[in-house]
Chain A
Amino acid sequence: MNKVAIVGAGITDCRGRWVEATYWDLFQRAARRTLEDAQVTTAEVDSVVYGIYNDIFEHQAIPESALTGHLGMVNKPGTRVTSGGATGFYAMRTAIMEVASGVSDTVLCIGGEKATDCYDPQSKSATPMVIDTIAKSWDPFFEYPLGATASDSYMQMCMGYNDAYPDDIGDSLVRAKIIEMLCRQGNKNPFGQRRDETVTVEQVLASRFIIAPFLRLLETCMYTEGAAGVLFANEKKAREISERTGVPPIWVKGMGAANESYQTGRGGSYKPLTSIVSDRVAAERAYAMAGVRPSDIQLIELHDAFVAQFMITMGEMGFVPLGQTRRLVDDGIMADIRELGDDRPPPKGQLLINPSGGLIFGGHFVGGSNMFSMWSARREMLRRHLPLALIHGTGAINAVFGGALVIELEDGGVR
C-alpha cells in the first residue's frame, strides 16, 4: 500500500439551516476552502469521492451528479459513498484506498448534507420530518413500523450496555458534565454551529426528554447543514504540496472498519445488545495497522451522536475500561480545554476528545461529519504538536457501522 497523506482540509460554517445556499453551493464552498488550504488547483485533483448520506435530504436521487461541474471535476472519476452516519468515514476510506492503490495521486473527499429543508406540515417545524427521514434508514417490514428512530435505536444500545454495566453511563450528572466540557470546546470552533451557546450541567438536566431514561434534548447531536472536504495525496505529491504550503503532511497510519449484523440476537453472528462491537473491532484494526496502542493517542475526534454512546465508544476503543467509562469525568481523563488553551497538548494521562465540540456542539452534516472531525483533528495536531490522532465514525441501526482512522503528524510537527 502506498503512503497516503492529508494535505488540505476545509469546512463551511455549520448552521441549523442555510437558506443562503443549496447543497451545490455548500459543497463548492467546502471544496474551494480545501483546495485553497492545500494551495492546489482543481486541475491537480485526479478524482473525487462524495459523502452524501441521504437522497431525501438532498431532494435529488444521484445528488452527486449535480456536483461534478460545480466542483470542477468534469471528466474525472467521481464515486458517491453512502453508509448511514458513517458515510464520512467510509468516503474517506474509499478516497484513501484510491490513493493507496496508486490509481490516483490526489483525491478530493467531500461530504455534506442539506437536512433541514425538510418540513413537517403537522407540527409546522423541521425536526419531526428530519427524524422521520432518518428513520427511513430502517426497514419497512419490522423496524420502521414500530416507530424506530436513530435516537431510540442508539438508546437501545445504551440500555443494553447499562444492563451489563450498571452505574456507568446511567449517571445523568456525569453525562451532563461531559456535555458542559464539549460545549466549552465547541465555543472555540470558529465554524461550530453552537459556538455562541453556553450550556451548563443544570440546563442539560432540565432539558426535555427525547428518549427515556437516557436521552434529553441537550445530550443529542444536532441536525446541521454544511459541508467539509479533505484532500488526500500520495507521498510524492504530498511532499510537493507541503513544500508549497509550509504545512507538514499528516499520514494515514491505520484504518479499520467493521459492520455488525442488522439483526440483533443471542450468539452466532447476531448483533449483541450489550456492546458496540463494530467500534471495538474497527479501532483494533486501525491500531494494528498503525502499530500503536490506545495509550499512544491523546487526541480523539469521536462521532458523538449521543453522549451516552460517546462514553461507550471510548470504552470500546480501549481508552477507558468498559463499565468504567465515567472515569473520563471522575478521574479527570477528559482534558479541560480551559487548562489547555489553544496550543498546548494535554498532559500525560489526559485525552483531548472532540475539540471541535463534536457532533453535539460543532456540527453534524451527516455525509461530511467525519470529514469535519478530520478537519478538526488536523487543526489540533498542527497547533498543539500532537503526533497521533484517532477519527471515529458510527452509523446505522443500533450503531452497527463502525470505522476508525489513525493519523500521524510528520515528525510531530517539527520542521
Chain B
Amino acid sequence: MSERAKILGAVWNLPREVSEVKGKDPGTYLQFNSHMVTFYQQTYGELSRFFLALRAGRLIGAHCEKCRQVMVPAASWHCPTCNFAEMREIELPHRGVLAATAPITIFPSASFIGDAPFARGYVDVATDAPIASFLPSRLRTTTGLPRPGIFVKGVELKLVFEDVREGSIRDIFWVPMKEVPAALRDAKPLLASKLDFNTPPMPEVARDAAGEQALARALAAVEELAAKVGASPRAQKDLAGRTHAIGVRTGGGDFTLHVADARIRVGAGLPPKPDFVMVVADAGVFSRWVADGSLTDAAVEGALWLPHKEAFGVLPILDRLPRSVRRDAK
C-alpha cells in the first residue's frame, strides 16, 4: 500500500522525544511529543443507502409524504418534523442551484494543506419541494482557480461524479452548468473525465494604449526589483531551489518571469514552455506587487487569473520578495 493510500502518511508523525522550551517568565520547561489518534472503521449505518447510491452514480433523498419535505443528503429515514414518520427514498436530479454564495478557503486545516484554494457550498437540489435541506458539496470550475464571481447564489449547477468512487461525499462535486457542454448537461451520471479541468482556457484581455503604459511601468518596477533581489540574501533564500518560467499576459502585452539560481529575471513575450501563464487585465497589479502589494490577494480576489492551485502555491514566495528586499536594504 502506498503512503498516499494510507489514512495517515509518514509526515503525520513526530520523533519520540522530550524537549526543552523557554517560558515567558523566562524559566526552562519541558514538552513531550505525543498524539491523540484514534483509528476507526466508521459505519455509515443508515447513511449507507445514500453512499451506495453515489457509488452507483445516483443521488437520492428522503421524502416525507406528510410535510412533503425532501432531505438531501438522505441523512435520516424518519421525519423529525412529523413525529418521525417514515420517509421514502426518492431519486434526485443531477442539477441544482447554489443556495448561497460560497466561501473560498485559502488557509486550510492540516488535513487539507495542498488543496487550497477550494470552494465548498450548499446546493439546493430538490428545488420543486416546498421544504428541502441543502447538500454540502465540493464546487469546481473548469475555468482555472475558484475565485469570487463563479459560485454565487442562484448559479445553476451540474452534478459530476468521480470516475472511481469509493462511497464518500468526495465522490461527487458540482460545476457551473454553463461550463458543461450542451450535449453533456443531461448525462446521468456525468463523469469527471468528460470535463477538462487540466487545461482551462486563458481569459481574453483587450489590449489598449493605457494597458501598454501600465505594462511599461510594471516592467520597470519588476526589473528594479530583480536587481535588488541580486543584492538581498533574504530574497535569494526565498527563491532558493526554485526554477520557473511563468508567462504573464496583460492588457498591455506579454512577458515572462524567470525564476532560477535564486534570482528573478524578466523576459519578453510568453515562453515556449511555461510552467503556467497568469492573466491580468491591469499590469498595474505587478507595480503594486513590487510596492509591497500582493499577487496572492490579486489571485484570491479574481483580478489575476491562474490555471491551477500549483500556480497559486508559487505566489506567496513571490510576495515575500519585496518585503525581503526592503528588510535587507535596512
Give A residues with C-beta under 8 Å from B: 15, 19-20, 55-56, 59, 117, 119-123, 128-129, 131-132, 134-135, 140-143, 145-149, 151-152, 155-156, 158-160, 162-163, 206, 208-215, 217, 263-270, 273-274
Contact A211 B104 (CB under 8 A): yes
A-B contact pairs, 20 of them (CB 8 A): A59-B36, A119-B33, A132-B111, A135-B109, A141-B44, A141-B169, A145-B170, A146-B169, A146-B170, A160-B101, A163-B100, A206-B294, A211-B104, A211-B106, A211-B107, A212-B301, A264-B122, A267-B131, A270-B133, A273-B99
Q: How far is the CB of B51 from chain A (nearest CB, A)?
A: 8
Contact A147 B109 (CB under 8 A): yes
Considering only CB atoms, which chain B residue lies closest to A263 in the complex? B133
Contact A128 B100 (CB under 8 A): no
Contact B134 A265 (CB under 8 A): yes
Q: How far is the CB of A404 from chain B (nearest CB, A)?
A: 25
Q: How far is the CB of B77 from chain A (nearest CB, A)?
A: 14
Contact A146 B138 (CB under 8 A): yes
Contact A212 B112 (CB under 8 A): no
- Contacts A159-B103, A163-B153 given; does A122 touch B168 at CB 8 Å: no
Contact A128 B109 (CB under 8 A): yes
B80 on interface, CB distance cutoff 8 Å = yes
> CA–CA, A217 to B40, complex, Å?
34
Given contacts A146-B169, A147-B108, A163-B100, 17 further A-B contacts (CB under 8 A): A20-B24, A128-B109, A129-B109, A132-B110, A140-B42, A141-B44, A142-B136, A159-B100, A160-B99, A206-B294, A209-B300, A211-B106, A215-B103, A264-B133, A267-B69, A267-B130, A269-B80
Give which listed residue, B47, B109, B121, contacts A156 with CB less than 8 A. Answer: B121
Most buried by B among A141, A217, A269: A141
Most buried by B among A132, A140, A145, A265: A265
Q: How far is the CB of B48 from chain A (nearest CB, A)?
A: 10
> CA–CA, A213 to B153, complex, Å?
14
Give which listed residue, A122, A134, A152, A162, contacts B120 with CB less than 8 A. Answer: A152
Give which listed residue, A121, A151, A215, A273, contacts B13 with CB less than 8 A. Answer: A121
Chain B residues within 8 Å of A267, by CB = 69, 130-132
Those of B113-163 within 8 Å (CB) of chain A: 113, 115, 117-118, 120-122, 124, 130-134, 136-138, 147-148, 152-153
B83 on interface, CB distance cutoff 8 Å = no
Contact A211 B109 (CB under 8 A): no
Contact A265 B131 (CB under 8 A): yes
Contact B107 A209 (CB under 8 A): yes
Q: How far is the CB of B70 from chain A (nearest CB, A)?
A: 9
Contact B67 A128 (CB under 8 A): no
Give which listed residue, B40, B101, B138, contacts A163 with CB less than 8 A. Answer: B101
Considering only CB atoms, which chain A residue lies closest to B75 in the complex? A263
> CA–CA, A265 to B122, complex, Å?
8
Those of B35-82 within 8 Å (CB) of chain A: 36, 40, 42, 44, 47, 67, 69, 71, 73, 75, 80-81
Those of B3-19 within 8 Å (CB) of chain A: 11-14
Contact B11 A122 (CB under 8 A): yes
Contact B113 A122 (CB under 8 A): yes
Give which listed residue, B110, B147, B152, contacts A129 with CB less than 8 A. Answer: B110
> CA–CA, A142 to B122, complex, Å?
11
Chain A residues within 8 Å of B25, by CB = 20
Contact A149 B108 (CB under 8 A): yes
Considering only CB atoms, which chain B residue lies closest to A160 in the complex? B100
Contact B138 A19 (CB under 8 A): no
Q: How far is the CB of B163 from chain A (nearest CB, A)?
A: 18
Give which listed residue, A128, A209, A217, contacts B110 with CB less than 8 A. Answer: A128
Contact A268 B131 (CB under 8 A): yes
Contact B34 A59 (CB under 8 A): yes
Contact A159 B101 (CB under 8 A): yes
- Contacts A141-B47, A152-B120 given; does A132 touch B106 at CB 8 Å: no
Contact B11 A264 (CB under 8 A): no
> CA–CA, A56 to B27, complex, Å?
27
Report, nearest first, the 6 A-B pairs whose CB atoms are least far apart: A265-B133, A160-B100, A128-B110, A268-B131, A132-B109, A267-B131
Contact A269 B113 (CB under 8 A): no
B273 on interface, CB distance cutoff 8 Å = no
Q: How far is the CB of B107 from chain A (nearest CB, A)?
A: 5
Q: How far is the CB of B223 from chain A (nearest CB, A)?
A: 24
Chain A residues within 8 Å of B110, by CB = 120, 122-123, 128-129, 131-132
Contact A212 B148 (CB under 8 A): yes
Give which listed residue, A147, A206, A208, contacts B112 with CB less than 8 A. Answer: A147
B21 on interface, CB distance cutoff 8 Å = yes
- Contacts A148-B120, A206-B294, A211-B104 given; does A20 touch B29 at CB 8 Å: yes
Q: How far is the CB of B49 from chain A (nearest CB, A)?
A: 12
B297 on interface, CB distance cutoff 8 Å = yes
Considering only CB atoms, which chain A residue lies closest to B121 in the complex? A156
Q: How far is the CB of A192 from chain B (nearest CB, A)?
A: 15
> CA–CA, A121 to B292, complex, Å?
30
- Contacts A19-B22, A206-B294, A269-B80 given; does A212 touch B42 at CB 8 Å: no
- Contacts A263-B133, A264-B122, A267-B131 given; does A210 touch B106 at CB 8 Å: yes
Contact A156 B103 (CB under 8 A): yes
> CA–CA, A104 to B136, complex, Å?
44
Contact A270 B24 (CB under 8 A): no
> CA–CA, A143 to B104, complex, Å?
15
B272 on interface, CB distance cutoff 8 Å = no
Contact B11 A156 (CB under 8 A): no
